[in-house]
C-alpha cells in the first residue's frame, strides 16, 4: 500500500498564474480546521469558537473532512499510534495545507520526554508551519498563532506542504524508521480482527 | 427549433450571475444570523464566496472515477436548469415552457447528482449520508406533493406565471386559509430540502463528518457549494412564487426571499437534530395530516 | 339390406368370446393374437358402420329376427351410437395390444373372454333401442367389470371388485324395478314407443320409474354419492381394463341415462329430476377434484380426475338444452381420448418401473421421454390449456351451463378445475424437473399408439371444427326425440 | 386466406415450435429471433393503413367465430409488445439454455399479440389462457412453488373471466365485442342485467385483469414469478404481459363503461367504478414501492417496482378523463421500455457475475461500462428525471389526476415516485459503485446480442423523452380527439405545458457551465477506493467499505407496524386450509368400507322418493 | 489505568489491631458479614463508603465469589509492582450498587512468572483488565482466552513496560536515537 501512495508526489501541481493573489487572499481569509484533536489540547479549541474569541470572524470553520480542510492542528502529545493516523489524514488533505502544533509535547516531547510512547520531535515526521509554546497555550496564544499562519499565507512563506513534497524521502525515512517498513499494510491487517 | 433571440440569452446569463451571487450572500446571511443568535460576531456576508474561491484555488484535485466527477457537475447543471424555469420577478426566462410539476421535479434532481458522486466515492460514511439523504427525501415527498396539489387545486392551473398573475389579482396564497396550511407544510418541507437544522441528518457533522460530501475536496467541493448557493436562491424564489405571490421586480423578490430564509434560520438555530426514522415518522404524521386537510379544503 | 351387417358389431364379439376356449385348446399362445384379430375386425365393421351412418345421414335400424318393434328388439345405431361404437372398437384394439404387454397373470383365455364380453356389453348398451335389452347389456358389462377388477388376484383387487359388485348389484336391481314400472305403465319395452306414450302415464308412476332408471344408471355413470366404488376399481383393475373403464364403460352408462332422460321429456316433473342430476353432477366434480389434490398414487389421482370429468359431462347432459347435450357429447369424445392416453401412459410406467406412486414419476422425462411427453400432453389437455382438445369442450360446457341458468354450478366447476390444474402441474414438474435417471428402452408399438392419441388431441385442439360437427350431430340424435321416434318403424300395436 | 394478421399472431408460435424441435444452439436462436422479428416488420408495414381504417381477419374454430382486428388503439399495444419482444429475443440469444425456453417465450408472445388483437371473447380467452400457461411454464422450470402460486392466481383470474364471458353470453347471446357493446348499450333502457349482476360482472373482470396487471391484493405472485424465470424473458414478462391486464381494464371501459356508469353513477364527480380502479392503482403504487425499497435481492426489487409502475397505469385509467387515458397509454410504452431495459441489465449482471443478492455485488461500473450506461438511462427514466420518457408519462398522469380533483391519489403518486427514486438509487449503489468484492474482478462485459437488445430498449427511452409529442400525437389519433396539444417537442394540456426539448437543451447548457467550472480547477488524480477517510485508519483491500446489506434499515424500522401484515402469508394460509379441507373431505367420503357406501345409495333413494312425493 | 497505584506503606502495620471492634455502621456490618463467610481474610474500613480486604493469593477466587453477592461490579484490577519485596500486589476494586460501598481486595503474588486464576466467570468484564495487566506486567491469568497483544505497538509486545525493572531510558534511546540525546542532565537523581 505504501508504494502506491507516492504518486501524489510525482503529480505536478496546478499553478494559477492569473488569479494567484485572489486565491492567496481567499486562502488567508477562509482557513478550515481539520477537526483532529490529539492529546490534551483538543479541549482548548472549542473556546475559540465561542462568543468570546470567535475565530469564525476570520472565516475559520471546523470541518471534519480532511479533503476540504487546510489547517491541521496538532494540539497535544503525539503517540506513534496517533502519528500514523495523523500522517494518513495529512496526506489526504489537498495541497496548500498548513500544520500548527500546540504545546511543548509535539515540539520536544515535553513532559513525556522520557516516555517510550510519545514522539519526541513532531517536526521530523511532518512539516510544521507554526508552533505555539506552552503546556497547552491559552486561547489568546492560539489566536495569535492563527494570526501568524494568516500572515505567513499572505506573504507566501507558509510552505510546509512544499517542504513535504520536496524532501519527501527524508520524511518517509524517518517515518519508516519509527514504524518499520510498509507499516500501513501491517496496521490495516492488525485492526481487521476488530472490524 | 427556437431561434436564438439574444434578449433571452443575455437575460439568462445575467440571471445566472445574479442568482449565484445572491445565493452565496444568502449562505453568508445564514451563517451570520446563526452567529448573531449565538451572540458571536460571525463571518462577513461574503464568506461563502471566499470559501468557494479557496476550494477552487486548491492546487491538487483528487477523484474516485468518472461518476465521482460527473455527480457534482450534474447536480449544478440540474439546479441551473431548475432555476431558469422559475419566473423570477419580471424576467420570464423559460417559465412559459414548464409548469409546477416540472420545476418541482427539477429541484429534486440535484439530489440524484450528489448521491451519484457520493456513492461512487466508496466511503462508508458517505454511503450512510446517501441513505439518510434518500430517506429524508422519501419522507418529505408526500407532504411536499400535498402542498403543491393544494396550490394547484386552488388556483386551478399548473403554470407558475399564471399562478403569479392570479395571486397579484386575488392576493397572496397565504391569505387563503387552506393555503395557509399548505404554507406551513411547505415550510417544514423547505427546511428538509435545504438540509437545515432539524433535518440536517444528511450532513450530520458530528456523526458521519459531512455525510455525502465527505470525500469531496478542492474543485468538487467548490462545485457543490455553488450548487447549494443556486439551489438556495432557486428554492426561496420557488417558495416566494408559490406562496408570497411572486414579485414584480427583483428587490421585492429579494425581500421575500430573505424573509423566507430568516424563518428557516430561526427554526434551524433552535431545534436539535432528528434521527432519520424519527424524521420519517414525523413527516408522515403532522405535515401529512395538515397537507390532507389543506388538499380537502381546496378541492 | 346391408344394414343387417351392422348386427355383426354385437354378434362378432359374442361368438368370438365363446370361441376363445377352443383357441386355447389349439395353442395357449394363440389366444392373445386371436383377441387382437377380433378387435381389429370389430374396428373394421365399426368403421364401415360409422361411414354408412354419417354419409347417408340416416340411422341403421337392425330388427332382431326380422320382428318389427315393439314386439322385436331393435338396434338403433344413430349418429351417437355409430361414433361411440367406433371409439369403443379402436380403444379396445389398442388395449388388446397393450394387454399382451401388460397382463401376465395366468388364465389368459379367461381374460380374453371377459375382455370381449366387456366390449360387447358397452357396444350393446349404446346400440340398443330397447330398455330391457339395455338392462341385459348393462348386466353383461357390470359382471365382466366385476370379474376384470378382481383379475389381478391381489387382496386390494378382490376388495375393490367386491365393493363394485355390491353397489353395482343394488344399482342394477333398482334399474330393473324402474323398467318394470315403465313396462307396467306403457306396456312396451321399446324406447321409441315409450317416448310416444310417456305423456299420458300417471305422473307419479312416471316420476318414480324415471327416477329409479336414472338412479340405476347413475351408479354405473359414477355420479356423486354413488361413485364410491370407482377410485378403488380403477386402481385395482389391470391397466388396459382401467383405460376401458374410463374411456367407454362409464360413458355407456352416461349415454343410456341421457337417452332415457330425454325420452321421458313429456313427464311433468322432468325438470325437478334434471335439477337433482345437475346438483349431483356438480358435487361429483367438486368432491372428486378435491380428493385428488393430495394423492400419493398417480393412477388413483387420474382416476379421481376421470370421475370429475365424467361429472362435468353429466352436468352438461343434464342441462336440458341442445347446446348442453352437444357440449356433453363433445366432452365425452375428448375425455375418452385424453383419459385413454393418460391411463395408457401411467399403466406403461407402472409396468416398466413397477409402481405408479409419485416417487416413480420423479425425473421420468429423462428415463422414459416418450411416455413422459405423452403424459404431459394428456395432463395439459385434461387441465384445459388452450391448444388442446378439452379446452374447447370445457368452454362449450361453461357457456351452455350459464345459459341454462346454473351460474353457481359453473362457478363451482371452474373452482374445482383450478384444483385440477394444481395437481396435474405438480405432476408435470415432478416428471420433467425433479430427479433423473438413465434412459430406459420403450416399446415402439405402444409409443406409436401414444403418439397417435397425442396427434388426435393436438388435431382436435388446433382445428376442432370436424370434431365439433360430429358432436353436434350426435347431440341432436340424443336430444331430438321426435326424429328418433319417427326413424323407428313401429308396428302401431297398443298405441 | 393467409393475411397479415394471421402471420402477425401465429408467427412467433410457429417459430417457437420449430426452435423447440431443432434444439441446436445456433439454429434455435436464429429461428427464435426471426419469429420475434416478424411481428415488428408487419406492424411497421401496417402503420399507415391502421391510422385510416382497421384490418380484419376472422376464422371459425370449433363453431366459434374468432375475429381479429388491428385498429389504431391495439396497434399501439401490439407495437409496445413487439419492441419488448424483439429485445427479449436478443436477450434470450445469450441467456437461454434450451429450446424449451424459446418455445414458451414465443408462445407467450403469440398469446399477448392475440389478446391485443382479438375482437371476440372466445379468441380473447383462448389466447389469454395460452399466454398465462406459456409464462407459467417458463417459471415452472426453475421453481415449483412460485410458479404454482402464479398459475393458481392467474387461473382463478382466467376462470373468473370465463364466468363473466358466460354470463354475458347468457344475457346478450353474443360473444364478439361489437354486438356485446351494442347490446349493453341498449340494455340501459331494457335493464335485462340487474345492478347485482353488473356488479358481479365488474368484480369478475376486475379480478381477472387485476391478477395479470398485479393490482394490490393480487400482486403476490409477481415477485416470485418475475425473479424465478430466465431474466431476459422477464423483461417481456413484466414489460408486455402485465400490459395485457391493463388492456383488459381498457376493454372494460369500452364494453361496459356506459352500463357501469348507469348502474353505479358518480361519487364526488368521478365515475364510481373508475374511482375504485384509481384507488386500487394508488394503493398498488404505494405498497409495491415501499416493499421494493426494502428488498435485498435485485430481481425482487425490480419485480415489486414493475408491480408499482403498473399501478401507475391502473391509476391513470382509473382517473377516467381522456387525459388520464392518454397518460396511462404513454406510461404503458415508457414502463415497457424502461422496465424491459432494467430486466435486460439484470440479466446481463446475473449472466456475468452469477450473483443475485445485493450483498455480493459492487463496483461493476468499470467492468461493465456499457451495461452501466444502459442501467443509468433506465434509472433516469424510471425515477422520472425530466429529459426521459418516464417523466413525460408521469407528468401526464399528474396533470390528469390533479385536474380530475383526485388529490389524495395524486399524493400517492408523489410518494410512489419518491420511493421509486430511492430504490433505483439503492440499485445503482449496491451494484455499480463502491468497493468490488474480490471474486468479481474478472467479470467481462455482457455478450453482444444482449447489448444490442439493451440499446434497442434504450433509444425509445431517450427519443420519447426528448420528443414526447410523437407518442401523444399517435394517442390523439387513436382516441380520435385532441387530448394533448403541442407539437413533437411540447406537450400542452388545458392547465400545464412541458417543453421537453427546451428542458433538455437547458440541462445540457447547465452541464456545460458546470463542466467549465470543473475544468478550470486542478487536473484530477485518480485514487484507489482504499484511499478514503476512515478517521485516519489505514484502509486495506479486504475492509468492507460499502453498505450493501439492508441499506434502508431505518425505513424498515419506521414501517415495522405495517410490515407485520403480508398478503403473501395470508394466501399461503388459505391454500393450506383448502388442501387440508380437501384431505378431510376425501377421508370422510371415500372411507373405504362398503357399508357407508351402501348407506349413500340408500340416502339417494330416500331423496328420490321424497322428490317423487313432493 | 493505575489510579491509586501507591498506597501509603506505613499505614499497613496498625491495621491488624483494628480488626475485632468494627463500628456498627453500614460498612461495618457489611465487612462483618463477609468476614464470617471468609475467615481467612482481614477486612477494615478506611472511611465512609470505603472498605478494604486483604486476602491470601490462593483463596482469592473463593473470596471474590463470596464478595460478588454484595459487590455487583468489578471496577478495575490494578497491579502494583513492589520491586524490593519481589512481589506484585493485585488490587480488585469492587463497587456495591445496593449498599453503594467501594471495596479494595488486595492480594500479593511473587514477581517471577506470576500466576493468577481468572475471575471472568464471576465478572466477564475482567477479561479486559486481565489482558491489560498481562500486557503491562506479564501476569498470566489462567483461563483467560485472549491474553495476547492488546493495545501496545507491535514493538513493545512481551516487553511489559510498566515493570519497575524495565529499562525505560535505554529503550527510548534505542527508538528515538539522536533526538532523545538532546538533553544532557542525568536521570539518576530526579524526584517526581
Looking at residue C491, its pLDDT comes to 66
Point out the residue among D426, D513, D521 whose CB comes nearest to the CB of B218.
D521
**Residues in chain A where the model's pLDDT stays below 50:** 1-4
Q: Is A15 part of any domain?
A: no
Residues of B in contact with A22 (CB under 8 A): 53, 57
Looking at residue C41, its pLDDT comes to 92
Q: Is A186 part of any domain?
A: yes
Count of domains forming chain E: 1
Closest Cα partner for D416 from D507, D342, D306, D493?
Answer: D306
Cβ contact B–C (≥3 pairs, < 8 Å): no
Q: Is E5 part of any domain?
A: no
Determine, for residues C464 and D585 on separate chains, whether the beta-carbon distance falls below 8 Å.
no
* Half-sphere exposure for B61 (CA within 13 Å, toward CB): 23
The whole domain housing C362 covers: 270-487
Q: Is D285 part of any domain?
A: no
**What is the least distance, in Å, from the CA of E43 to any CA of chain A?**
38
Is residue B131 very low, low, confident or very high in pLDDT (cuts 50, 70, 90)?
confident
> Looking at chain A from residue 68 to 107, which residues have their Cβ under 8 Å from any Cβ of chain E?
80-81
Determine the residue among E153, E154, E161, E169 to mutate to test chain A binding: the one whose Cβ has the most chain A Cβ atoms within 10 Å: E153
Looking at residue B174, its pLDDT comes to 84
Looking at residue E20, its pLDDT comes to 59
CATH number at residue E161: 3.30.460.80
Residues of B in contact with A154 (CB under 8 A): none
Determine, for residues D582 and C293 on separate chains, whether the beta-carbon distance falls below 8 Å.
yes
Determine, for residues C293 and D169 on separate chains, whether the beta-carbon distance falls below 8 Å.
no
**What is the least distance, in Å, from the CA of D607 to any CA of chain C?**
9
B236's CB contacts (< 8 A; 6+ apart) are B26, B256, B257, B260, B261
Q: Is A164 part of any domain?
A: yes
Chains touching E, CB cut-off 8 Å, 3+ pairs: A
Mean local confidence (pLDDT), C203-228: 84
Looking at residue E180, its pLDDT comes to 67
Is residue E94 very low, low, confident or very high in pLDDT (cuts 50, 70, 90)?
very high
- Range of lowest pLDDT (B32-41, D98-107, D533-542, D573-582): D533-542
Looking at residue B29, its pLDDT comes to 92
Count of domains forming chain D: 1
**Which alpha helices (H) appear in C75-227, and where do they start and end?**
79-102, 108-127, 131-149, 155-186, 191-197, 203-220
3-state SS assignment for residue E105 = strand
Determine, for residues C421 and D169 on separate chains, whether the beta-carbon distance falls below 8 Å.
no
The whole domain housing A182 covers: 3-7+20-190
Mean local confidence (pLDDT), C274-279: 88
Mean local confidence (pLDDT), C179-202: 83
Per-residue CA distances from E28 to E45, E50, E72, E156 (Å): 7, 10, 18, 45
Looking at residue B261, its pLDDT comes to 92
Mean local confidence (pLDDT), D224-251: 90
D149's CB contacts (< 8 A; 6+ apart) are D220, D221, D224, D225, D571
C307: cell is 370421475
Q: What is the ipTM of this complex?
A: 0.84
| Phi, then psi, of B88 in degrees rounded to 5 | -95, 120
Determine, for residues B57 and A16 on separate chains, whether the beta-carbon distance falls below 8 Å.
yes
Determine, for residues B54 and A51 on separate chains, whether the beta-carbon distance falls below 8 Å.
no
Q: Is A5 touching B (CB cutoff 8 A)?
A: no
Q: Is C10 part of any domain?
A: no
Instruction: Please name the residue of chain B whose CA is at the shortest distance from the CA of residue D528.
Output: B64
Examine the pLDDT at E31 and tell me if it is beyond 70.
yes
pTM value is 0.88
Which pairing describes strands C60-63 and C74-77: parallel, antiparallel, or unpaired?
Answer: antiparallel
Determine, for residues B60 and A95 on separate chains, whether the beta-carbon distance falls below 8 Å.
yes
Query: pLDDT tens, C54-96?
Result: 888 888 888 777 777 667 778 888 888 889 999 999 999 999 9
Angle at C384 between CA C381 and CA C386, to 5 degrees: 90
Is residue D373 very low, low, confident or very high in pLDDT (cuts 50, 70, 90)?
very high
D594: cell is 362398503
Buried b (16+ CB within 10 A) or exposed e, A140-163: ebbbebbebbbebbeeeebbbbee
pLDDT above 70 covers what percent of chain C?
Answer: 98
Query: Exposed, middle or buried: residue B278 (CB in 10 Å: 0-12, 13-18, 19+)?
Result: middle
Looking at residue C305, its pLDDT comes to 92
Looking at residue C1, its pLDDT comes to 43
Mean local confidence (pLDDT), C281-294: 89
Is residue C2 very low, low, confident or very high in pLDDT (cuts 50, 70, 90)?
low
Q: Is E158 part of any domain?
A: yes
- Range of lowest pLDDT (C204-208, D156-160, D196-200): C204-208
Mean local confidence (pLDDT), D321-327: 89
Is residue D338 very low, low, confident or very high in pLDDT (cuts 50, 70, 90)?
very high
Query: How far apart are the C-alpha atoms of C189 and C132, rounded to whole Å?
Result: 6
The whole domain housing D599 covers: 566-613
Q: Is A139 touching B (CB cutoff 8 A)?
A: no
Q: Is A22 touching D (CB cutoff 8 A)?
A: no
D456: cell is 434497442
B-D C-beta contacts closer than 8 Å: 258
Per-residue CA distances from C359 to C238, C355, C428 (Å): 20, 9, 13
Mean local confidence (pLDDT), D403-416: 88
Count of domains forming chain C: 1
Looking at residue E173, its pLDDT comes to 80
Determine, for residues A68 and B217 on separate chains, whether the beta-carbon distance falls below 8 Å.
yes
Average pLDDT over chain B, rounded to an integer: 87
Query: D390 or D495: which carries more pLDDT confidence?
Result: D390
Amino acid at each position: 500500500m505504501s508504494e502506491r501512495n507516492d504518486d501524489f508526489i510525482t503529480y505536478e501541481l496546478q499553478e494559477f498564474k492569473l488569479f494567484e493573489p485572489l486565491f492567496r487572499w481567499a486562502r488567508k481569509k477562509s482557513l478550515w480546521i481539520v477537526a483532529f484533536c490529539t492529546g490534551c489540547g483538543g479541549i482548548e479549541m472549542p473556546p475559540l469558537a465561542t462568543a468570546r474569541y470567535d475565530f469564525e470572524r476570520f472565516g475559520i470553520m471546523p470541518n471534519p473532512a480532511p479533503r476540504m480542510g487546510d489547517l491541521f492542528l496538532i494540539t497535544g502529545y503525539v503517540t506513534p499510534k496517533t502519528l500514523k493516523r495523523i500522517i494518513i489524514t495529512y496526506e489526504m488533505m489537498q495541497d496548500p495545507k498548513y500544520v500548527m502544533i500546540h504545546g511543548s509535547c509535539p515540539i520536544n516531547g515535553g513532559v513525556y520526554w522520557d516516555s517510550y510512547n510519545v514522539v519526541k520531535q513532531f517536526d521530523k515526521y511532518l512539516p510544521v508551519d507554526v508552533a505555539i509554546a506552552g503546556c497547552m497555550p491559552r486561547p489568546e496564544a492560539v489566536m495569535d498563532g492563527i494570526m501568524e499562519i494568516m500572515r505567513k499565507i499572505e506573504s507566501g512563506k507558509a510552505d510546509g506542504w512544499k517542504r513535504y513534497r520536496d524532501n519527501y524521502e527524508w520524511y518517509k525515512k524517518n517515518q519508516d524508521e519509527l514504524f518499520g517498513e510498509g507499516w500501513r499494510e501491517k496496521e490495516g491487517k492488525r485492526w481487521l480482527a476488530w472490524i | 427549433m427556437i431561434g436564438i433571440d439574444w434578449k433571452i440569452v443575455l437575460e439568462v446569463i445575467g440571471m445566472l450571475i445574479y442568482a449565484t451571487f445572491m445565493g452565496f450572500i444568502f449562505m453568508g446571511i445564514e451563517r451570520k444570523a446563526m452567529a448573531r443568535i449565538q451572540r458571536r460576531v460571525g463571518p462577513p456576508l461574503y464568506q461563502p464566496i471566499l470559501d468557494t474561491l479557496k476550494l477552487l484555488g486548491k492546487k491538487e484535485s483528487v477523484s474516485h472515477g468518472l461518476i465521482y466527477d460527473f455527480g457534482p457537475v450534474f447536480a449544478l447543471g440540474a439546479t441551473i436548469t431548475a432555476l431558469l424555469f422559475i419566473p423570477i420577478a419580471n424576467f420570464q426566462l423559460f417559465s412559459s415552457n414548464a409548469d409546477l410539476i416540472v420545476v418541482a421535479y427539477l429541484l429534486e434532481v440535484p439530489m440524484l447528482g450528489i448521491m451519484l458522486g457520493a456513492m461512487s466515492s466508496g466511503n462508508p460514511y458517505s454511503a450512510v449520508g446517501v441513505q439518510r439523504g434518500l430517506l429524508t427525501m422519501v419522507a418529505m415527498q408526500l407532504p411536499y406533493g400535498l402542498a403543491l396539489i393544494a396550490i394547484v387545486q386552488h388556483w386551478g392551473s399548473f403554470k407558475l406565471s399564471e399562478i403569479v398573475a392570479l395571486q397579484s389579482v386575488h392576493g397572496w396564497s397565504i391569505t387563503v386559509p387552506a393555503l395557509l396550511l399548505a404554507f406551513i407544510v411547505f415550510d417544514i418541507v423547505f427546511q428538509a430540502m435545504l438540509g437545515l437544522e432539524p433535518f440536517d441528518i444528511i450532513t450530520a457533522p458530528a456523526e458521519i463528518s459531512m455525510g455525502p460530501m465527505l470525500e469531496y475536496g478542492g474543485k468538487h467541493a467548490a462545485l457543490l457549494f455553488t450548487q447549494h448557493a443556486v439551489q438556495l436562491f432557486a428554492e426561496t424564489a420557488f417558495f416566494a412564487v408559490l406562496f408570497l405571490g411572486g414579485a414584480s421586480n427583483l428587490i421585492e423578490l429579494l425581500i421575500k426571499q430573505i424573509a423566507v430564509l430568516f424563518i428557516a434560520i430561526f427554526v434551524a438555530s433552535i431545534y436539535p437534530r432528528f434521527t432519520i426514522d424519527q424524521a420519517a415518522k414525523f413527516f408522515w404524521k403532522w405535515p401529512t395530516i395538515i397537507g390532507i386537510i389543506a388538499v380537502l379544503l381546496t378541492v | 339390406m346391408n344394414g343387417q351387417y351392422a348386427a355383426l358389431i354385437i354378434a362378432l364379439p359374442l361368438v368370438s368370446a365363446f370361441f376363445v376356449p377352443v383357441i386355447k385348446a389349439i395353442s395357449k399362445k394363440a389366444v392373445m393374437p386371436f383377441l387382437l384379430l377380433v378387435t381389429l375386425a370389430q374396428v373394421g365393421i365399426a368403421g364401415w358402420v360409422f361411414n354408412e351412418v354419417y354419409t347417408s345421414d340416416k340411422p341403421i335400424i337392425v330388427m332382431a329376427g326380422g320382428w318389427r318393434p315393439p314386439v322385436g328388439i331393435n338396434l338403433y345405431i344413430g349418429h351417437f351410437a355409430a361414433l361411440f361404437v367406433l371409439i369403443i372398437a379402436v380403444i379396445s384394439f389398442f388395449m388388446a395390444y397393450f394387454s399382451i404387454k401388460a397382463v401376465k397373470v395366468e388364465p389368459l383365455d379367461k381374460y380374453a373372454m371377459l375382455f370381449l364380453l366387456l366390449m360387447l356389453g358397452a357396444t350393446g348398451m349404446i346400440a340398443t333401442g330397447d330398455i330391457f335389452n339395455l338392462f341385459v347389456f348393462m348386466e353383461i358389462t357390470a359382471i365382466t367389470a366385476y370379474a376384470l377388477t378382481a383379475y389381478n388376484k391381489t387382496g386390494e383387487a378382490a376388495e375393490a371388485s367386491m365393493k363394485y359388485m355390491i353397489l353395482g348389484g343394488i344399482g342394477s336391481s333398482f334399474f330393473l324395478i324402474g323398467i318394470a314400472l315403465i313396462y307396467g305403465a306403457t306396456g312396451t319395452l321399446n324406447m321409441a314407443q315409450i317416448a310416444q306414450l310417456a305423456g299420458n302415464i300417471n305422473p307419479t308412476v312416471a316420476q318414480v320409474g324415471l327416477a329409479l332408471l336414472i338412479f340405476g344408471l347413475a351408479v354405473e355413470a359414477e355420479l356423486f354419492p354413488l361413485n364410491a366404488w370407482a377410485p378403488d376399481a380403477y386402481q385395482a383393475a389391470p391397466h388396459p381394463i382401467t383405460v376401458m373403464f374410463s374411456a367407454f364403460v362409464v360413458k355407456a352408462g352416461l349415454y343410456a341415462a341421457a337417452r332415457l332422460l330425454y325420452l321421458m321429456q313429456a313427464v311433468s316433473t322432468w325438470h325437478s329430476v334434471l335439477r337433482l342430476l345437475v346438483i349431483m353432477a356438480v358435487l361429483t366434480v367438486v368432491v372428486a377434484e378435491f380428493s385428488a389434490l393430495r394423492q400419493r398414487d398417480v393412477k388413483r389421482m387420474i382416476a379421481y380426475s376421470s370421475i370429475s370429468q365424467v361429472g362435468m359431462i353429466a352436468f352438461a347432459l343434464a342441462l336440458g338444452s341442445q347446446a348442453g347435450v352437444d357440449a356433453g357429447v363433445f366432452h365425452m369424445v375428448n375425455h375418452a381420448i385424453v383419459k385413454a392416453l393418460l391411463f395408457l401412459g401411467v399403466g406403461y410406467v407402472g409396468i416398466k418401473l413397477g409402481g405408479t406412486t409419485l416417487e416413480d414419476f420423479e425425473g421420468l422425462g429423462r428415463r422414459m421421454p416418450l411416455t413422459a411427453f405423452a403424459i404431459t400432453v394428456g395432463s395439459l389437455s385434461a387441465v384445459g390449456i388452450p391448444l388442446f382438445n378439452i379446452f374447447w369442450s370445457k368452454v362449450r360446457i361453461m357457456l351452455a351451463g350459464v345459459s341454462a341458468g346454473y351460474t353457481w354450478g359453473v362457478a363451482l366447476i371452474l373452482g374445482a378445475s383450478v384444483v385440477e390444474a394444481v395437481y396435474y402441474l405438480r405432476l408435470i414438474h415432478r416428471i420433467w424437473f425433479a430427479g433423473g435417471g438413465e434412459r430406459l428402452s420403450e416399446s415402439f408399438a405402444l409409443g406409436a399408439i401414444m403418439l397417435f392419441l397425442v396427434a388426435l388431441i393436438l388435431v382436435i385442439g388446433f382445428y376442432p371444427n370436424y370434431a365439433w360437427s360430429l358432436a353436434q350431430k350426435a347431440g341432436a340424435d340424443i336430444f331430438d326425440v321426435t326424429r328418433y321416434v319417427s326413424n323407428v318403424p313401429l308396428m302401431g300395436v297398443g298405441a | 386466406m393467409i393475411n397479415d394478421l394471421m402471420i402477425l399472431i401465429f408467427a412467433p408460435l410457429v417459430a417457437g415450435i420449430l426452435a423447440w424441435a431443432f434444439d441446436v444452439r445456433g439454429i434455435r436462436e436464429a429461428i427464435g429471433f426471426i419469429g420475434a422479428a416478424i411481428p415488428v416488420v408487419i406492424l411497421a408495414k401496417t402503420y399507415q393503413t391502421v391510422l385510416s381504417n382497421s384490418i380484419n381477419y376472422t376464422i371459425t374454430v370449433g363453431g366459434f367465430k374468432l375475429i381479429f382486428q388491428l385498429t389504431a388503439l391495439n396497434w399501439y399495444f401490439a407495437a409496445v409488445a413487439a419492441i419488448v419482444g424483439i429485445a427479449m429475443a436478443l436477450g434470450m440469444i445469450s441467456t437461454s439454455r434450451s429450446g424449451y425456453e424459446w418455445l414458451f417465450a414465443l408462445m407467450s408472445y403469440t398469446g399477448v399479440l392475440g389478446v391485443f388483437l382479438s375482437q371476440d371473447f372466445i379468441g380473447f380467452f383462448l389466447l389469454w389462457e395460452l399466454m398465462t400457461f406459456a409464462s407459467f411454464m417458463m417459471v415452472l422450470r426453475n421453481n415449483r412453488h412460485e410458479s404454482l402460486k402464479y398459475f393458481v392466481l392467474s387461473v382463478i383470474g382466467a376462470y373468473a373471466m370465463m364466468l363473466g364471458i358466460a354470463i354475458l353470453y347468457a344475457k346478450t347471446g353474443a360473444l364478439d365485442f361489437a354486438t356485446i357493446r351494442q347490446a349493453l348499450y341498449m340494455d340501459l333502457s331494457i335493464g335485462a342485467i340487474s345492478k347485482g349482476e353488473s356488479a358481479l360482472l365488474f368484480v369478475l373482470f376486475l379480478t381477472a385483469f387485476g391478477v395479470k396487471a398485479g393490482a394490490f391484493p393480487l400482486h403476490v405472485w409477481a415477485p416470485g414469478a418475475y425473479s424465478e424465470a430466465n431474466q431476459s424473458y422477464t423483461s417481456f414478462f413484466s414489460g408486455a404481459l402485465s400490459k395485457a391486464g391493463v388492456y383488459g381494464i381498457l376493454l372494460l371501459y369500452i364494453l361496459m363503461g356506459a352500463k357501469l356508469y348507469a348502474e353505479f353513477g358518480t361519487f364526488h364527480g368521478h365515475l364510481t367504478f373508475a374511482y375504485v380502479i384509481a384507488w386500487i392503482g394508488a394503493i398498488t403504487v404505494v405498497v409495491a414501492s415501499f416493499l421494493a425499497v426494502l428488498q435485498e435481492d435485485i430481481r425482487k426489487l425490480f419485480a415489486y417496482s414493475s408491480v408499482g409502475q403498473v399501478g401507475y397505469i391502473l391509476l391513470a385509467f382509473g382517473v377516467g378523463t381522456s387525459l388520464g387515458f392518454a397518460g396511462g397509454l404513454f406510461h404503458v410504452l415508457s414502463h415497457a421500455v424502461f422496465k424491459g431495459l432494467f430486466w435486460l441489465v439484470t440479466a446481463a449482471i446475473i449472466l456475468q457475475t452469477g450473483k443475485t443478492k445485493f450483498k455480493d455485488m459492487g463496483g461493476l461500473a468499470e467492468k461493465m461500462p456499457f451495461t452501466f450506461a444502459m442501467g443509468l438511462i433506465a434509472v433516469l427514466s424510471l425515477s422520472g428525471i425530466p429529459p426521459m420518457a418516464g417523466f413525460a408519462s408521469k407528468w401526464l398522469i399528474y396533470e390528469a389526476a390533479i385536474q380530475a380533483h383526485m388529490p389524495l391519489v395524486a399524493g400517492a403518486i408523489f410518494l410512489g415516485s419518491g420511493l421509486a427514486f430511492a430504490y433505483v438509487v439503492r440499485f445503482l449503489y449496491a451494484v455499480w459503485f463502491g468497493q468490488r468484492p474480490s471474486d468479481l474482478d474478472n467479470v467481462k462485459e455482457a455478450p453482444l446480442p444482449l447489448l444490442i437488445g439493451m440499446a434497442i430498449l434504450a433509444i425509445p427511452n431517450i427519443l420519447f423523452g426528448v420528443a414526447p409529442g410523437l407518442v401523444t400525437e399517435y394517442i390523439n389519433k387513436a382516441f380520435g380527439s385532441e387530448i394533448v396539444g403541442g407539437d413533437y417537442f411540447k406537450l400542452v394540456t388545458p392547465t400545464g405545458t412541458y417543453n421537453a426539448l427546451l428542458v433538455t437543451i437547458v440541462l445540457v447548457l447547465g452541464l456545460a457551465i458546470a463542466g467549465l467550472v470543473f475544468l478550470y480547477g486542478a487536473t484530477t488524480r485518480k485514487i484507489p477506493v482504499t484511499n478514503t477517510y476512515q478517521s485516519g485508519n489505514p484502509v486495506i483491500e479486504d475492509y468492507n467499505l460499502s453498505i450493501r446489506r439492508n441499506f434502508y434499515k431505518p425505513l424498515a424500522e419506521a414501517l415495522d407496524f405495517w410490515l407485520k401484515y403480508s398478503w403473501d402469508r395470508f394466501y399461503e394460509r388459505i391454500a393450506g386450509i383448502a388442501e387440508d379441507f380437501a384431505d378431510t373431505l376425501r377421508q370422510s367420503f371415500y372411507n373405504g368400507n362398503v357399508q357407508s357406501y351402501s348407506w349413500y345409495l340408500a340416502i339417494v333413494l330416500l331423496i328420490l322418493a321424497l322428490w317423487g312425493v313432493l | 489505568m493505575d489510579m491509586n497505584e501507591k498506597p501509603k506503606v506505613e499505614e499497613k502495620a496498625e491495621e491488624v489491631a483494628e480488626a475485632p471492634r468494627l463500628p456498627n455502621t453500614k460498612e461495618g456490618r457489611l465487612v462483618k458479614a463477609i468476614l464470617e463467610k471468609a475467615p481467612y481474610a482481614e477486612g477494615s474500613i478506611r472511611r465512609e463508603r470505603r472498605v478494604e480486604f486483604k486476602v491470601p493469593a490462593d483463596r482469592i477466587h473463593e473470596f471474590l465469589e463470596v464478595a460478588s453477592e454484595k459487590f455487583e461490579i468489578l471496577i478495575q484490577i490494578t497491579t502494583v509492582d513492589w520491586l524490593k519485596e519481589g512481589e506484585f500486589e493485585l488490587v480488585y476494586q469492587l463497587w456495591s450498587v445496593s449498599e453503594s460501598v467501594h471495596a479494595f481486595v488486595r492480594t500479593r503474588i511473587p514477581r517471577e512468572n506470576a500466576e493468577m486464576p481468572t475471575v471472568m466467570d464471576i465478572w466477564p468484564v475482567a477479561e479486559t483488565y486481565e489482558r491489560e495487566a498481562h500486557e503491562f506486567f506479564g501476569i498470566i491469568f489462567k483461563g483467560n482466552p485472549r491474553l495476547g497483544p492488546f493495545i501496545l505497538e507491535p514493538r513493545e509486545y512481551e516487553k511489559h513496560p510498566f515493570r519497575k525493572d524495565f529499562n525505560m531510558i535505554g529503550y527510548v534511546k534505542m527508538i528515538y536515537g539522536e533526538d532523545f540525546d538532546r538533553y544532557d542532565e542525568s536521570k539518576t537523581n530526579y524526584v517526581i
